Amino acid sequence: MAVDYAVIVLYLAGMLAMGWWGMRRAKSKSDFLVAGRRLGPAMYSGTMAAIVLGGASTIGGVGLGYQYGLSGAWMVFTIGLGLLALSLFFSARIARLKVYTVSEMLDLRYGGSAGLISGVVMWAYTLMLAVTSTIAYATIFDVLFGMDRTFSIILGGVIVVAYSTLGGMWSITLTDMVQFVVKTIGVLLLLLPIAVIKAGGFAEMKAQLPDDYFAPLGIGGQTVFTYVLIYSFGMLIGQDIWQRVFTARGDKVARLGGTAAGTYCLVYALAGAVIGTAAKVLYPHLGSSDDAFATIVKDSLPMGVRGLVLAAALSAVMSTSSGALIACATVANNDIWSRVKAFAAARRRAADPGAGVSAGADAGADVDSGAHGAGEERGHDEVRGNRIFILLMGVAVIVIAIALSNVVEALTLAYNVLVGGLLVPILGGLLWKRGTAAGALASVAVGGVTVIGLMIALGVLANEPIYYGLIASLVAYVVVSLATKPTDPAVLTAWRARLAGDSPGHAASDGTTAEAAAAPAERV
C-alpha cells in the first residue's frame, strides 16, 4: 500500500499548492467569487463536470448499481439531464446577468424584495450539500488509512477549507480541473474496464444476476420521476451551479461548455452503474451497497492503480465540497450578512439623520471604486471579507458533518428544500413576466413550509414532500401574482436589458461597466 499512500499524499499536497497559486490571482471580488468571469470552454466544462459529480455521484452511483443494476444510473443520469437543460435553455441568460448569487437575480427580476428569504433557503441548501460531501471523507480515509471517522472528516475538511479560503474560485477551478482529469482516468479508464473484466464480462454478469438488474426501470418509475424533480430541477437553480455559470467568459462558453459537461455526466452515470453491477457479481453479500466502491477498489485493483482510483473518489468529494462551500459563503456574505448590515445602517440613519451625509459619501466612494485606486483597496477588503466567510462556513460544515451520519437523508433534505422553495419563483421569473415579488415570496414560503412539514410527517426520504411542495409553491406563485399589482415596468425593462447583456452605463456587480464586461477577456 506504500505506493497507494504516496499517490494520495501527493494528490493532497497538490491541492494545497493549487490553493496557494490561486491566492496570487484572486485580487478582486470578481476574481475570488467567479474567477474573473473569464473561463474558456475547456476549463469551464471540466470544472462544471467536477462540481456536479461528487461523492454521491461516484460512491453513491456505484452503490445504486450494486443494489439495482444498470437502472442505478438514473440518479446521476438525471443530474446530467438537468445540467444539459440548464446549459441549452438558461445558461446564456444567466451568464449575461453579471451577478454573484441567485438571490441577486431574484432582486433584479422582482424589484429588490425577494433576496433575503431566498438567500436563507439557498444558504441552507449549500450548507447541507457541503456537509454531505464532507461526511464522505470518513469512508475514503477509512479505506485508505483506517482512520477514525471524526479525524477523517477533519482532515479532508481542513484541506478543502484551506485551498478554498486561500484562492477562492480560482483555487477551486484549478483543483477541479485536476480532479476532473483524475476522475476520468481513475473511474472511466481504469476502474470501469477492470471491474467488468474481473466480473467475467457482460455475458457472465447477465448470467449471474436477475433480469431486473438489466431493466431500464428496474429501480422503479416513481423513483426515476422523483430523481428528475429533485436533481434535474435542482441543477437549474442551485447557487453552486449558477456560480460556475457566472465564471464563463461568454454566452457560447456557458452553453457549449455546459453541454459538454452534461454529456460527460451521462457517460459517468452509466459507468458507475456498470461498476456497481460488476461488484454485485464479485461481492454478492456486502453489508451495505455504499461499500461496493471501496471494496472493489481495494480488492480488485493492482497497487498504484488502486491509489489513483481512490484519489479519484477523493477528488469527486473534494470538488463538490469546495464548490458548495464557496457557494454557501457567498450567499451568507452577499445575500444575508450584507442585507443585515444595510438594514442596521438604515435604522441608524433613521435615528440620526445627520449620518446620512457620511453614508452618501461612502456610497459615492463605492461607485468610484470599480475603476480607481480606492477601488483596489476596497477589492482587497471584499476578498478578505469573503475569505473570512469561507473559513467560518468551513468550520461550521466540519462540525455538522461530525454530528451527522446519514448522507442520503442530508442530501435529500437539501435538495427538497431547494427545489420546493425556489424552483417556481426562479423559473417563473425567467419565463413569466406577470410574476410578482409578492408571488415569489409566497411561493418560497408556502413551498418551503410544505416540504419541511411533510418531511417531518412522512420522513425525509418520502416522495410526497417534493410532489406536494412543488404543487403548493406553484399555486401560491400564480394566485398571489395574479392577485397583486404587476411588477413595475421600469424594473422589467431593466431586467430585460440585463438578460440581453445590453445595459449601457450600468455598473455590473463586480464593479465594471457593461461595456467593460463585454470586452474580450483573458483566455484561460
Q: Read off the pLDDT of residues 146-187 as tens digits, 9 standing for 90 and up.
A: 788 888 889 888 988 998 888 888 888 888 888 899 889 989
Nearest Cα to 321, choosing from 524, 206, 427, 172?
172
Report pLDDT for 379: 55
Between 483 and 362, where is the model more confident?
A: 483
Report pLDDT for 514: 38
Residues 6+ positions from 291 with CB-CB distance below 8 Å: 63
Highest mean pLDDT among 52-61, 286-295, 329-338, 352-361: 329-338
Q: Are 401 and 134 in contact (CB under 8 A)?
A: yes
Q: In which band, very low, low, confident or very high, does the pLDDT at 119 lie, cut at 50, 70 and 90?
A: confident
Q: Are 96 and 251 in contact (CB under 8 A)?
A: yes
Q: Comparing 29-38, 350-359, 514-523, which segment has the lowest mean pLDDT?
A: 514-523
% of the chain with per-residue pLDDT over 70: 88
Report pLDDT for 513: 39
Q: Comparing 169-173, 191-195, 512-516, which segment has the lowest mean pLDDT?
A: 512-516
Report pLDDT for 1: 64
Highest mean pLDDT among 64-73, 232-241, 455-464: 64-73
Residue 367 pLDDT exceeds 50? no
**Residue 194 parent element (H or E):** helix 192-198
Cα–Cα distance for residue pair 298/276, rounded to 1 Å: 14
Residues comprising the chain, all counted: 524
Q: In which band, very low, low, confident or very high, does the pLDDT at 291 lie, cut at 50, 70 and 90?
A: confident
Dihedral angle at the C-alpha atoms of 470, 471, 473, 475, nearest 10 degrees? Answer: 160
Report pLDDT for 517: 38
DSSP-derived secondary structure for 120-183? HHHHHHHHHHHHHHHHHHHHHHHHHH---HHHHHHHHHHHHHHHHHHHHHHHHHHHHHHHHHHH
Q: In which band, very low, low, confident or very high, does the pLDDT at 507 lie, cut at 50, 70 and 90?
A: very low
Report pLDDT for 54: 80
pLDDT one-digit tens code per residue, 207-245: 999 999 999 999 999 999 989 988 899 899 888 899 999
Residues 6+ positions from 138 with CB-CB distance below 8 Å: 149, 152, 153
Report pLDDT for 328: 92
Mean pLDDT of 33-51: 90
Q: Comparing 135-144, 184-193, 200-209, 439-448, which segment has the lowest mean pLDDT?
A: 135-144
Residue 279 pLDDT exceeds 90? yes
Q: In which band, very low, low, confident or very high, does the pLDDT at 19 lie, cut at 50, 70 and 90?
A: confident
Report pLDDT for 354: 62
Cα–Cα distance for residue pair 296/104, rounded to 1 Å: 45
% of the chain with per-residue pLDDT over 90: 41
CATH fold, domain 2-331+377-407, is Sodium/glucose cotransporter (1.20.1730)
Residue 408 pLDDT exceeds 90? no
Cα–Cα distance for residue pair 118/114, rounded to 1 Å: 6
Mean pLDDT of 338-359: 73
Report pLDDT for 308: 82
pTM of the model: 0.81
Residue 503 pLDDT exceeds 80? no
Cα–Cα distance for residue pair 429/426, rounded to 1 Å: 5
Report pLDDT for 366: 45
Residue 472 pLDDT exceeds 50? yes
Mean pLDDT of 49-65: 87
pLDDT one-digit tens code per residue, 73-104: 999 999 999 999 999 999 988 888 888 888 88
Report pLDDT for 114: 66
Mean pLDDT of 432-437: 92
Report pLDDT for 407: 67
Report pLDDT for 60: 85
Mean pLDDT of 320-336: 90
Average pLDDT, the chain: 84
Residue 406 pLDDT exceeds 70? no
